Each structure stands twice: as C-alpha cells, then as structure tokens.
Chain A
C-alpha cells in the first residue's frame, strides 16, 4: 500500500514548480509536508492526487504505475485550505456525495455519513447548507467528506490555516485521532513547524520546489541534514552566523569569542556556519556552555509567559525565545546568552557537520 514518487518533475511553462523529487510514503503513515508558501506543497499534493500530471517521472501505488491514472480512479480524498463544499448540497449530501458517486447502497451511505458526522460533531447541522455554517463547521464538513470513503490516500492542504485560533487548536487536537485507525496514507501540508512537531509521523521539509529532507519528524527536527532544512523547520526562524573555530574557541560576529561547547568540540578547526534555535538564546544566564553578545533590541513580542526578542547584531537578526516577561525597550542594548551545546554547525556547503 505504499506510495512512491520516482524522479517527479513538474514544470509549467518556463517555471519549475517541482524539481526532480523522489519520495516513498509508507502505508498507514502520517506525513507532513512542511514549507513556506510557494514551496510546492500544493503542487506535490495535486500530483499525488492526479489533479496535475507530472512533466516527467513516475508515481507508483502498491507497486502499480498510476502516473497516467485519472483522479477519479485513484481513490484519494482531499481537504483544502479554503473551505470547499458543494454549496447547493446540504451538509448530509455533501458528506454523502463521494459515496453516492461510487454507487453505494443507501443504507450503507446513511450509516457512514452518520458515523462521520458524529465523529466531527456535525450531527445537528446535517440539514443546513454550507453557507449557513461557521468556518470551523464548514471545514469539518470537508474533513467528514474526506473521511467517509475508504480512501487510500488522504491529502490535507493546510486545512487549519484559515480557521481562527481557538478552532485551529481544537481541530488540531482532533485530527490525529481521526486518522489514527485508518488504513490510509495521510499527507498533511503546513507552513507551521509547530504543527509538524505536534503531529509527529514523518516530515518532508520543502523549499522552492525541492524536498530538502524526509524522515521521522523528530529526527528531521533534531538532526537536519542541511541549513535549509533547519531553517524551514524552525519557528521563530533559526539564528545563523559565520563562525571560525580555533581549538576550544569560536569567533563570531567578527570579534566575539565564545567557548566551543559540546556540539562543535570534535570539529576540525576552520570556518563554519552556526545555527542556533531561538529558544537556546535567552536574556537569562541559565545554560551550561554560554556564549553571549550585546545586541540592539528591534522588537519584543510578549505572549503570556513567553518573550520573543528580535535583536540586531553585526547586520543580522538574532531572535531569542525565552520564558518569562522580558519587556526590553525598543532600541536598547540587551545582553543575550546562547546555549552553544545545542548549536548546529554547517560546513561551506551548508551540510550539517555537528
């Protein structure tokens, strides 16, 4: 039941939307496509669904070549970011529509729609038209329609992006449970690294039409192969700077000296790119191997118990994400401490070396 993309390329006119990509999705797996807007997530999903055909390359499902197969023959479900429902059908008919098209018996349709509606708490809304529902209910209807048939592949294209915060949280908690006991490959596209971490499963990080890395979510997060993956998979964005390693010392921001820390201790001397996640930068001196720097505060975002401080140092922006309220005035100088043990080192080709 695995799905395999082999050397898929998608070009539209002079633009390449997907560069040569190979990807193998295991049966019963939850896969996250993580990347910014225009990274190619939607295109990749449409290629999997069969809505678009690849310019070259092949797609195999259960070992069978389905590259040329029509969408209707692929047994996939798809949920879009926009709340897409059939406006002339009520909620019941919307959910029932894929089953009706497949020619299922009325009794079975009723049983399945009832179950899906119950799962997504749409019971009281079945007689309403989509236009009479809230955004959250509309998206639940779309998800119910995707669940109601036994799809081999379920594609979710940023399904939560257009929902407001509370609803997003709520549905985000429910989604993995809905798909947990399904014999299907689930592909979930998102722009938010935190969503990928929350769902677990596998993550493919995407950047400008390339899949930069694919693997179990936690290892993709902790051990990105290259700088690009680390950057895609970091929110707030990862802090980077050029460093020079000499013995037990790092030279950063031109002239600052930092201890080497555990991560880089085994590296040969030379020039590297250092990557530090924002939560390893703090105005509190509580880490172990500490580097520090003085920077100008650009913006401070305080959300409840957490502070995100944007600073400018040596013509680049470094971001600190820490517990506690640090209301630093705009334009002031702040001293920030870096947990170098947790830093990542990349070589001249931006490959992770430590």
Chain B
C-alpha cells in the first residue's frame, strides 16, 4: 500500500503526458512512418517538419499573427481593466455590484454567439482579417476576466495605503503608477496570464475573423489536408511549437497563480 501512494501520481502524470508524448513522437517522424504503422518512437528521426515550419512563411506567419493579436489583446484588456478594477475596489457607486456581475456574465455566453455579429461588423468597417479584429473580439471575454482578477488583488490592498500616499503628497496618477501598480504586480501578472491563455487557445473567433493575412497558427494547424496531401508530421511539429509560448508564460507566473488562488480569485 505504501508503494501505491508513490505510483499513483506517477501513473497519473504519465497518463497526462501520453498525448503530448505522442505529439512530439509524431513531430519527429516522417508522414510515411506515421501512416505506415504503430511505432512507439521515431525510427527515422527527422527534423524536417520543424525546418519547414520555421522557414516557410505560410507556416511561421501563423505564429506571428497569433502572437500579435494575443499581445495586442492582453495589453488592451489589462490596460482597460486596471482603472475599472480600481473603481470597483475603491468606490461605491450606483449599481456597482450589478455592473460587476454584468461584466462577468459576458463570460457566460459561448464565443459562437458573438461570431456572426462580430464577423459582419468587422467586415463592414474593414477590420476583417487583421490582428486587431481578433484582439478586439477577445477583449469581450478578457476584460471582464481581467477586471475580476484585478479587483480581487486590489481589494487585498488596504485603502489606507492610498490615503497614506495622498497624505505624503502623492497625486493620484503618481500614486497609481509609482506605488499602486507595483504593489499589485502579481495580480497584473496573473491577469495577463489568463488573457494570454484565453486568447492563445481560442479558435472559433480567431478562425472566423481571419482569412489569409492574419490567419492564426491554430487555424493553420487544424487543416488536416493540404495540396500536398496529408502532412501529419508537419502538423504535429506545429502543435509542439504551439505549446511553447504557453509553457514559457506559465513558468514566469507560476508563483503568482498560487497567490491568485489564495486571494479567492482565479
């Protein structure tokens, strides 16, 4: 029984890692090997798939597009959410609780609901097939999320800190940027992380609102067949590369996420 308690987590992690292993496994195989039979590891090890992705603009532009709209989205969402969250955490105003809930309720609608109106609107005003189109449509979900996370962190800062700063002579903007923002840096990190995550993995809006010029990697990756037939090795390599930005971001915010949980948010 004692050993079992050690094996269970090992088994669990192994189980979780199987799809990722299989993805990596495939990415180092040739398409022939993938389709040819069941092999546990690449017999004809090749980096050709990665080479294609990193040199062919039709592949790597997908990453650039994705990163572009994810960054734009994260910056807009957090920049807009900061003052909003400050207002919710510091002031009482008419209907503040309802407004806060209404913001959150935006997250309850499936993105598919917004796909058609946003597509039609952006086509009309010439935003279609630009990174801005995807970034702006994602703010619909990310601003409420960021406000909610930041409000939690801000409410954890006593309002006496604000008052002390004013007493010490700080003007509001100076206090906000020099003291308040550094104080809730962890919260901003967590909010950025969640905005990034949502925007990075969201497929439906990203796919609907782009055609060629701003096509995100997730859209490119999920087209199974191309003119040159099945390219499963290539798709697998693209998938493996798509995991990297997420892993990098998680590495940087791993300590803050725990803090976010401790504050009852996230």
Identify the A interface with B (CB < 8 A): 46, 49, 51, 70-72, 76-78, 80, 82, 84, 86-89, 97-98, 101-102, 142, 145, 149
Q: Given known contacts A82-B158, A84-B160, A84-B161, is B166 in contact with A71 (CB within 8 Å)?
A: yes
A46 in contact with B161 (CB, 8 Å):
no
Residues of A within 8 A of B160 (CB): 80, 82, 84
A51 in contact with B179 (CB, 8 Å):
no
Question: Which of B158, B167, B174, B185 contacts A71 (CB under 8 A)?
Answer: B167
Residues of B within 8 A of A70 (CB): 166
Please list the 6 inter-chain residue pairs (A to B) with the smallest Cβ-Cβ separation, ordered nearest first.
A88-B182, A98-B168, A101-B169, A71-B166, A78-B167, A80-B160
Residues of B within 8 A of A87 (CB): 182-183
**Chain B 132-164 per-residue mask, 1 if CB under 8 angstroms from chain A, else 0:** 000000000000000000000000001011011
Residues of B within 8 A of A101 (CB): 168-170, 174
Residues of B within 8 A of A72 (CB): 166, 169-171
**What would be 29 A-B contacts, judged by CB atoms less than 8 Å apart?**
A49-B163, A49-B167, A51-B166, A51-B167, A70-B166, A71-B163, A71-B167, A72-B171, A76-B167, A78-B163, A78-B164, A80-B163, A80-B164, A82-B158, A82-B160, A84-B161, A86-B161, A86-B179, A86-B183, A87-B183, A88-B179, A88-B182, A88-B183, A89-B179, A97-B170, A101-B169, A101-B170, A101-B174, A102-B169
Q: How far is the CA of A145 from the CA of B167 in the complex (A)?
A: 11
Q: How far is the CA of A300 from the CA of B170 in the complex (A)?
A: 51
Residues of A within 8 A of B167 (CB): 49, 51, 71, 76-78
Name the residue among B168, B169, B185 with the largest chain A CB count within 10 angstroms.
B168
Q: How far is the CA of A77 from the CA of B164 in the complex (A)?
A: 8
The secondary-structure label for the interface of chain B is: helix
What distance in Å separates the Cβ of B91 from its nearest Cβ neighbour in chain A?
13
B168 in contact with A145 (CB, 8 Å):
yes
Identify the B interface with A (CB < 8 A): 158, 160-161, 163-171, 174, 179, 182-183, 185
What distance in Å separates the Cβ of B189 from its nearest Cβ neighbour in chain A?
14
A46 in contact with B183 (CB, 8 Å):
no
What distance in Å separates the Cβ of B176 from its nearest Cβ neighbour in chain A?
13
What distance in Å separates the Cβ of A334 from its nearest Cβ neighbour in chain B?
46
Residues of B within 8 A of A82 (CB): 158, 160
Q: How far is the CA of A35 from the CA of B185 in the complex (A)?
A: 38
Residues of B within 8 A of A51 (CB): 163, 166-167
Closest to A46 in B: B163
Closest to A79 in B: B164
What distance in Å separates the Cβ of A96 from its nearest Cβ neighbour in chain B?
10
Residues of A within 8 A of B179 (CB): 86, 88-89
Residues of A within 8 A of B166 (CB): 51, 70-72
Question: Which of B158, B163, B168, B171 contacts A97 (CB under 8 A)?
Answer: B168
Name the residue among A46, A72, A78, A82 with the largest chain B CB count within 10 angstroms.
A72
Q: How far is the CA of A64 from the CA of B117 in the complex (A)?
A: 61
Q: How far is the CA of A277 from the CA of B99 in the complex (A)?
A: 54
Closest to B183 in A: A87
Question: Which of A84, A88, A102, A149 contacts B164 (CB under 8 A)?
Answer: A84
Residues of B within 8 A of A142 (CB): 164
B169 in contact with A98 (CB, 8 Å):
yes
What distance in Å separates the Cβ of B34 from its nearest Cβ neighbour in chain A?
52
What distance in Å separates the Cβ of A112 from its nearest Cβ neighbour in chain B?
14
Residues of A within 8 A of B171 (CB): 72
What distance in Å separates the Cβ of A153 from its nearest Cβ neighbour in chain B?
10
Residues of A within 8 A of B161 (CB): 84, 86
Closest to A86 in B: B179
Q: How far is the CA of A78 from the CA of B164 in the complex (A)?
A: 7
Further 15 A-B residue pairs, CB within 8 A, beyond A77-B168, A82-B160, A88-B179: A51-B166, A70-B166, A71-B163, A72-B166, A72-B169, A78-B164, A78-B167, A80-B160, A80-B163, A84-B164, A86-B179, A87-B183, A97-B170, A98-B168, A145-B168
Residues of B within 8 A of A77 (CB): 167-168
Q: How far is the CA of A76 from the CA of B171 in the complex (A)?
A: 15
Q: How far is the CA of A322 from the CA of B171 in the complex (A)?
A: 54
Closest to B161 in A: A84
Q: How far is the CA of A101 from the CA of B164 in the complex (A)?
A: 13
Q: How far is the CA of A97 from the CA of B161 in the complex (A)?
A: 13
Residues of A within 8 A of B168 (CB): 77, 97-98, 101, 145, 149
Q: How far is the CA of A78 from the CA of B163 in the complex (A)?
A: 9
Q: How far is the CA of A46 from the CA of B170 in the complex (A)?
A: 16
What distance in Å separates the Cβ of A240 from its nearest Cβ neighbour in chain B?
37
